[in-house]
Amino acid sequence: MNQEAFQICSKELKRLRSIQPSSVEHSVIKNYLEIMLELPWSKSTITLTNQALLAKGFLQKARVQLDLDHFGMLKVKQRLIEFLAVIKLRADLETRAANQQFVASNTDPSTTSSSPSSSSTQPQPSNEFQISRLWKDTLDPTFLVPPDRPNAPADNTHRLPGPTLKGKDGKKPAPILLLVGPPGVGKTSIARSIAKALNKQFYRISLGGVKDESEIRGHRRTYIGSMPGTIVQALRRVGVNDPVILLDEIDKVGSRSINGDPASALLEVLDPEQNSTFVDHYINTPIDLSSVLFLATANSTSTISPPLLDRLETIQVDGYSLDEKINIARRNLIPKQIKNYSLQPHQFILDDEQVLKKIILSYTSESGVRNLEREIGSLCRAKVLEFIQDRDQSDVLDKTKSEQDHLDQFQAKIHMDDVRRILGPEHYEAEISDVELKPGVAIGMAYQGSGNGSILYIEATSYPGKGGLKLTGSLGEVIKESAELAISWIKSNSNLMNLNLTKIDTLDLHIHFPSGSIKKDGPSAGVGLVLALVSLFSNLAIDNNLAVTGEISLRGQILPVGGIREKVLAASRSGIKQILIPAKNAKDIESDENLKNLKDLVEVQYVNSLHEVIKLVFKDKLWTRTANLQQNQEQFNQLAQNSDSNL
């Protein structure tokens, strides 16, 4: 331990000797000293970690580990490999500097040797080291480092070039990664994979619902039953000062209250400039956290305080597509559940892709795979029951049959009928866009809070009234404002679209979003609202194979929205053939391999303005209903073609 901690412990030890064992204070001091002695002040896994980092093929092994633990996630894995590459480079620099210093301290300056290719001289190391070769470019010697050195590379050789550039105090803290994504997509297991690749101890701290600052900083010893905070407790339990600590559900940390602000306490923990002298209220002395590799997870960044978010580097972990879930089930979930329920691979066979699709689409509704794993577990338990009952009944009827005979006769393969019989009625109805739409109905795309995407029907109708607007479907303020924007834009462009709105002040409009029990909000329904209202006013139905998304402005500009990946995948599952999305979201499509593979199934078109959307959806139907409207049509088409320059 450091000098300050040693002095405090010595002082407390003297007090302990002068207090009667029966005193309450005696047990308090004794408990404090035990905790102080259990803390890993200088114990670390640096030797194991450096061996892993300096070993040949470290990054390749790390990539293989990530591929084994997680399917897909190409962008996330690439970012994690870059993260590990930085750590490897820093470890190499630190090892090189340590060896340089050690070689220099064991060098006889009176002895030099000249290189045949240069007149420069190099110091000759003592007999403990042996030069294996000189590098031609800089004549840097490569020494054979003794294997018992703490920082010795795996092959015991190390190139010693010129001076090593070092940061402040020689420390180069790694960035703190924040994995953001919906539940069940593997954020925690990614953190475990990083710890495994680095040969470091792993500890998870759940921050969900933490509302007391003392949970982070610890309780002062003046309180009865006081203990250190979760950070110090983590170090105490793992027994080393350089573990990987995962701050799970950091977005659910409580806000400021009478018990303090835990989010503010985390600022010191995660700040590289401050955490080397982190003070827990219980131990009341600085403890160095600079060697700890912190990772964090969250479902959303919206509830994380800006100062805390500023200290984190965000990596977005998206939900899984249907194909990814099928592969994950085959590679990971099914073998895991077979092992959990003591089955053999030939006793439970679930390899039919259509059966897996049925389970995923009709019995789960999630972006991750947790519920899918539960449903597979239900099928496994049912098969275990069937096997035991069949075997017991067979033992009564025919005791000559062996265990293998029962296995051979047992129906291990899961069929579609087994799914319905075991899992019961379908929990979720698949969204299929095979119904012909009536005028006033459009199909939008939504991103749900669970991380899923879905198609969303937008219905509009009118009836005699006084020009009022009624919105239903558990809608938020933003989506209500989008409806008002849509009506205003349609009114200002009605003549160009050949819409007769002279009697609109004598009508009330009612816009409804089905699934009223689900709350809906956001600006992405703007384009769908315009199409539904234009369809209503023109009495023209929209193609049921078309879905749209995008925020609108009062000028008719289409602005980018979020959740494009989930929306496009949901539309594809629902049988949609054509999708219109904002042109500024094109990067979201082009950078995603899963979406690129859908090009044969779904036609994606990028639009900049509502003029383009109206022309693509209704084509010439708006202007062929009445004669002598060629001028309006030409003017509208011109606006659609020049939307980029006009906006």
Catalytic residues: 524, 567
Q: How far is CA 429 from the centre of its chain?
A: 27
Q: Residue 193 is inside which H or E element, if any? A: helix 187-198
DSSP per residue, 350-414: ---HHHHHHHHHHH---SSSHHHHHHHHHHHHHHHHHHHHHHHHHHHH-TT--HHHHHHHS--B-
Give the start-end residues of each E strand in 390-545: 441-447, 453-464, 469-472, 507-512
Q: Is residue 236 within 8 Å of residue 39, measured between CB atoms?
A: yes
Q: How many CB atoms lie within 10 A of CB 4?
A: 12
Q: Is 107 helix (H, G, I), strand (E, B) or coil?
A: strand
User: What whole-number distance in Å separates Cα of residue 313 and Cα of residue 295?
Assistant: 10
Q: What is the total residue count of the chain?
A: 647
User: What whole-number distance in Å separates Cα of residue 469 and Cα of residue 462?
Assistant: 9
As given in the structure block, the two tokens for residue 42 are: 């200088």
Q: How many CB atoms lie within 10 A of CB 154?
A: 14
As given in the structure block, the two tokens for residue 170 are: 């020689």
Closest CA to 370 of 421, 319, 317: 319
As given in the structure block, the two tokens for residue 633 are: 């049509």
CA distances from 638 to 424, 493, 622 (A): 56, 14, 15
